Amino acid sequence: MLRTNYRERSRSPDAERRALQACASCRKQKRKCDKGLPGCGLCHRLGRVCDYSDSPPAPTGDDFQFLLQKIQDLENRLSDSTRDTTPHPVPQLPYTPPSLAVSDRASTGDSTRSSGEGRKAFTHAPLFFLDASVFSYRDCGIPKPLVTANAEILDLLGGSAETQAVAATYFATVHKWFPFVSKIRFHCRLSEPLSATEMDHALLCLCMKLIVQIPDSSDGPDHVLYETAKRLCHSMESTCLPSLQFLQALLLLALYEIGHAIYPAAYLSVGHCARLGQAMGLHRKDAARMLPKPKAWTEMEERRRVWWAAIILDRYVSIGNHGPPLATEDPNKDDYLPVDDISFDLGEMSANETLYVSSSTSIRASPFARTCQAAHLMGRVVRHMNDRNMEPSFRYAEANQLERTLRAFSSLLLVEQDPTSFAPLGICYSTLLTLCDTYSCAEMGDPEGTAGKLHMQEIAISGLRATSQGVLGLSQCLKACIRANGSMSVTPFLADCLYQGAANYAWYAGESGSTEYTEPRNQIREALVMLDKRWKLGGEYVKILYNFWEQ
Residue 284 dihedral angles phi and psi, to the nearest 5°: -150, 145
**What integer pLDDT is reported at residue 99 of this predicted model?**
39
Instruction: Return the sign of the alpha-carbon dihedral for residues 203, 208, 213, 215.
Output: positive
Give yes or no for a contact between 22 and 54, defined as CB atoms under 8 angstroms apart.
no
Amino acid making up residue 171: F
Q: What is the pLDDT of residues 411-436, one digit of tens each?
A: 999 988 665 579 999 999 999 999 99
Tell me the pLDDT band of 150, cut-offs 50, 70 and 90. Answer: confident
pLDDT given for residue 10 in this prediction? 42
Q: What is the pLDDT of residue 356?
A: 86
Residue 55 DSSP one-character state = S
Measured from the Cβ of residue 162, the count of other Cβ atoms closer than 10 Å reads 14
Using DSSP, state whether 18 is helix, strand or coil. Answer: strand
pLDDT band at 390 (very low <50, low <70, confident <90, very high): confident
pLDDT digit string, tens, across residues 436-486 = 999 987 665 555 557 788 899 999 999 999 999 999 999 999 999 999 999
pLDDT band, very low/low/confident/very high, at 73 (cuts 50, 70, 90) = low
Q: Lowest-confidence range among 3-12, 117-126, 497-506?
A: 3-12
At residue 210, does pLDDT exceed 90?
A: yes
Cα–Cα distance for residue pair 266/376, rounded to 1 Å: 20
Q: Using 50, 70 and 90 to split pLDDT, how confident is the model at 101?
A: very low
More confidently predicted of 249 and 240: 249
Looking at per-residue confidence, does 539 or 129 come out higher? 539
pLDDT higher than threshold 80 for residue 302: yes
Whether the pLDDT of residue 192 is over 50: the answer is yes
**pLDDT score, position 273:** 96
pTM, two decimal places: 0.75
| Helix locations, 143-241, DSSP H | 151-157, 160-172, 174-177, 183-190, 199-212, 224-239
**Amino acid present at 146:** L
Instruction: Select the more confidently predicted residue: 237 or 75.
Output: 237
Higher confidence at residue 359 or residue 2? 359
Residues whose CB is less than 8 angstroms from the CB of residue 336 and which lie 6 or more positions away in sequence, other chains included: 304, 354, 355, 356
What per-residue confidence (pLDDT) applies to 214? 84
Q: Which carries the bigger pLDDT value, residue 325 or residue 251?
A: 251
- Please tell me the predicted confidence (pLDDT) of residue 252: 98
The span from the CA of 210 to the CA of 204, in Å, is 10
Higher pLDDT among residues 376 and 18, named by residue = 376
| Per-residue DSSP letter, 93 | P
Is the pLDDT assigned to residue 55 strictly greater than 90?
A: no
DSSP 8-state assignment for residue 16: G
- What are the DSSP E strand ranges found in 444-548? none
Q: What is the pLDDT confidence band of residue 393, given thresholds at 50, 70 and 90? A: confident
Number of other residues whose CB lies within 10 A of the CB of residue 223: 13
Beta bridge partners of 148: 101, 198
Among 495, 496, 517, CA closest to 506: 517
**CB atoms inside a 10 Å sphere around CB 456:** 26
Confidence grade of residue 212 (pLDDT, cut at 50, 70, 90)? very high
pLDDT confidence tier of residue 103, bands split at 50, 70 and 90: very low
Burial of 299 (0-12, 13-18, 19+ CB in 10 A): middle
pLDDT of residue 65: 58
Q: Could you tell me if residue 461 is left (phi over 0), alpha (psi between -120 and 50 degrees) or otherwise beta? A: alpha
Distances in whole angstroms, Cα of residue 90 to Cα of each of 83, 87, 202: 19, 9, 34
Rounded distance, CA 201 to CA 198, Å?
6
Residues recorded for the chain: 551
What are 455-461's contacts with CB under 8 Å, separation 24+? 455/396, 455/400, 456/396, 456/399, 456/400, 459/400, 459/403, 460/403, 460/435, 460/436, 461/436
Check pLDDT > 60 for residue 330.
Answer: yes
- Mean pLDDT to the nearest integer, 175-181: 96
334 has a pLDDT exceeding 80:
yes
Amino acid letter at 11? Answer: R
Q: How confident is the model at residue 490 (pLDDT cuts 50, 70, 90)?
A: very high
pLDDT attached to residue 420: 57
Mean per-residue pLDDT for 530-534? Answer: 94
Average pLDDT for the chain: 80
Helix then strand then coil, in percent of the chain rounded to 5, is 65, 0, 35
Q: What is the mean pLDDT of residues 163-169?
A: 94
CB-CB contact of 220 with 540 (8 Å) = no
Q: What confidence score (pLDDT) does residue 153 get?
A: 86
On whether the CB atoms of residues 290 and 128 are closer than 8 A, the answer is yes
**86 pLDDT exceeds 50?**
no
| CA dihedral over 103, 107, 111, 117, signed as positive or negative | positive
| Rounded distance between C-alpha atoms, residue 74 and residue 96, angstroms | 34
Q: Is the peptide bond before 215 cis (omega within 30 degrees of 0)?
A: no
Residue 72 or 308, more confident: 308
